[in-house]
Structure 1
Amino acid sequence: MIIKVLGASGSDVAGYHLSSFLLNSKILFDAGGVTGSLSFRAQHKIEHIFITHAHLDHIRDIPFLADNLIVSGKSKTIKIYSIKEVIDDIKKHLLNQRLWPDFTVIPDVKNSILKLEIIQEKAPFLIDEYKITAYRMNHTVPSVGYLIEKNDKSLFYTGDTGPVKNLWENFSDKKLNVLIIEVSFPNKMKELAIKTGHLTAELFFEDLKFLNQRPEKIFITHIKPFYRKQIERELKRYSGYKIKILQGGEIIRI
């Protein structure tokens, strides 16, 4: 697996891009920072988008990606996947003909630029030999994370989440090669993190105790840039883990 980090920031500020992870050029996980990170040619290679939840920083570039594709004059359909609540929110609040044109019917229903696909939790399915499974996360809106498996390699991407002790029970027999998980706030903001469905370093490592097998590598995403240095210091306390804070433009190889 080759994952290009298009964006991994918890805030949209100069020099940072919002959450977007591209798997082998064709499969995108979240779409917060796509069009500002990829060339037109690279955007046209995208075929599938898996959305964790419908907050704007994770779906913002869906409309702009669709617009870029249609003005290019090249016929293409991109499938967007998530659980029903998330798909409903995208349709109702984003592609609603008022906030943005409904690209699920443009240029017509049969040949639409976007197609919305509802998936079920804990029901794996195959795309390009990747087995992808959605698991419910703990956030302020309906949200899932995605387990991606191919051959003997595995990656779990949480999207936004607060503590999810029950989640790790699903992985009791799995060895995660890579865990991409959010840590948005420093430890001193624990109450705000819990209230808003996010993690601090302390909350994350308390949660990780419930995972039977330690992930080989842990990548931290969705840090609020204002608190980056403080969160970096707090993460360094956990020296027994291979931890790296992600930035846009990086490549993860599994």
Structure 2
Amino acid sequence: MRIKVLGASGSDVPGYHLSSFLLNNKILFDAGGITGSLSFRNQQKIEHIFITHAHLDHIRDIPFLADNLIVSGKGKSIKIYSIKEILDDIKKHLLNHRLWPDFTVIPDVQNSILRLEIIPEESPILIDGYKITAYRMNHTVPSVGYLVEKDGQAFFYTGDTGPAKNSWKKLSDKKLNALIIEVSLPDKMKELAIKTGHLTAELFFEALKMFHHKPERIFITHIKPFYRKQIEKELKKFPEYRIKILQGGETIKF
């Protein structure tokens, strides 16, 4: 598998892009940092977008991507997948003809630029040979993470989440080549992290204890850049894990 990190930041500041992970050029996980990271030609290659939740930093570029595609005049359509609650929020609060044109009915319903596809929780769907399964996570709004499997390889992307014991239990027997997991705040802000549905390094390592198989590689995302150095120090307390903090522009291969 080949995952291009378009963005992995928990804040929109110069030099950092918001959450977006592109699998083999066609399948995108979250859409916070597409149009500022990909050429127009590569934007046109995207066919599927899986959304973890409807917070703006994870969906912001959906409208701009749709706008770029419609002005190209090539009749391109992209499917956006998530559970019903999340897609309902996107439809109601983003693609509502007021905040932005509703590209699920433009140019018309049959030929719309965007198509919303409801998927069930914990029941895999097959896209281009990838088995993709949504698991409920713990955030302040409805939120899921995605398990992606193909040819004996697997990774899990959490999106935004606080402590999620039930989800970790369901995933505990999975052998993961990669775990892409958020750590947004330093340990001193543990209470705020729990309140806002995020992880600190301490909470992250508590989650790792629930896995029966140690993930081969762990990639940290959604760090608030203001606390990056402190979080880096806190992550180094557990050298037995292969941990890397992600930056936009990198590529994960396994």
TM-score, normalisation: structure 2 = 0.99
TM-superposed CA distance for 1:170, in Å, is 1.6
1:1-254 → structure 2 map (5 Å cutoff): 1-254=1-254
Task: State how far apart, in whole Å, the 1-side matches of 2:47 and 2:141 are.
Answer: 26
Question: Identical aligned pairs, as a percentage?
Answer: 81
TM-superposed CA distance for 1:173, in Å, is 2.9
TM-superposed CA distance for 1:112, in Å, is 0.3
- What secondary structure does 2:35 align onto? coil
- Give the residue type in structure 2 aligned to 1:68: N
Task: State how far apart, in whole Å, the 1-side matches of 2:103 and 2:63 are.
Answer: 8
Task: State how far apart, in whole Å, the 2-side matches of 1:166 and 1:212 are.
Answer: 14
- What secondary structure does 1:110 align onto? helix
- What secondary structure does 2:111 align onto? coil
CA contact (8 A) 2:49 2:80 kept: yes
- What secondary structure does 1:166 align onto? helix
Task: State how far apart, in whole Å, the 2-side matches of 1:247 and 1:30 are.
Answer: 15
TM-superposed CA distance for 1:172, in Å, is 3.4
TM-superposed CA distance for 1:168, in Å, is 1.9
Task: State how far apart, in whole Å, the 2-side matches of 1:38 and 1:208 are.
Answer: 33
TM-superposed CA distance for 1:171, in Å, is 2.3
- Give the residue type in structure 1 aligned to 2:99: L
Task: State how far apart, in whole Å, the 2-side matches of 1:173 and 1:167 are.
Answer: 12
Runs of 4+ in 1 over 3 A off after TM superposition: none
- Give the residue type in structure 1 aligned to 2:84: K
Task: State how far apart, in whole Å, the 2-side matches of 1:59 and 1:18 are.
Answer: 9
TM-superposed CA distance for 1:109, in Å, is 0.5
Q: Deviation string for 1:27-57 (max 9, x for gaps)?
A: 0000000000000000000000000000000
CA contact (8 A) 2:5 2:248 kept: yes
- Of residues 8-17 and 204-213 in structure 1, the stretch that sits farther from structure 2 once superposed is 204-213
C-alpha RMSD over aligned residues:
0.6
TM-superposed CA distance for 1:207, in Å, is 1.5
Task: State how far apart, in whole Å, the 1-side matches of 2:90 and 2:167 are.
Answer: 25
CA contact (8 A) 2:34 2:65 kept: yes
- Of residues 144-153 and 172-181 in structure 1, the stretch that sits farther from structure 2 once superposed is 172-181
Task: State how far apart, in whole Å, the 1-side matches of 2:207 and 2:38 are.
Answer: 34
Task: State how far apart, in whole Å, the 2-side matches of 1:85 and 1:52 are.
Answer: 11
- Of residues 137-146 and 68-77 in structure 1, the stretch that sits farther from structure 2 once superposed is 68-77
- Unpaired runs of 5+ in structure 1? none
- Give the residue type in structure 1 aligned to 2:214: R
CA contact (8 A) 2:173 2:211 kept: no
- What secondary structure does 1:5 align onto? strand
Task: State how far apart, in whole Å, the 1-side matches of 2:223 and 2:14 are.
Answer: 14
- Give the residue type in structure 1 aligned to 2:82: S
TM-score, normalisation: structure 1 = 0.99
- Give the residue type in structure 1 aligned to 2:9: S
TM-superposed CA distance for 1:73, in Å, is 1.1
Task: State how far apart, in whole Å, the 2-side matches of 1:92 and 1:16 are.
Answer: 28
Q: Deviation string for 1:119-156 (max 9, x for gaps)?
A: 10001010000000000000000000000000110000
Task: State how far apart, in whole Å, the 2-side matches of 1:82 and 1:222 are.
Answer: 20
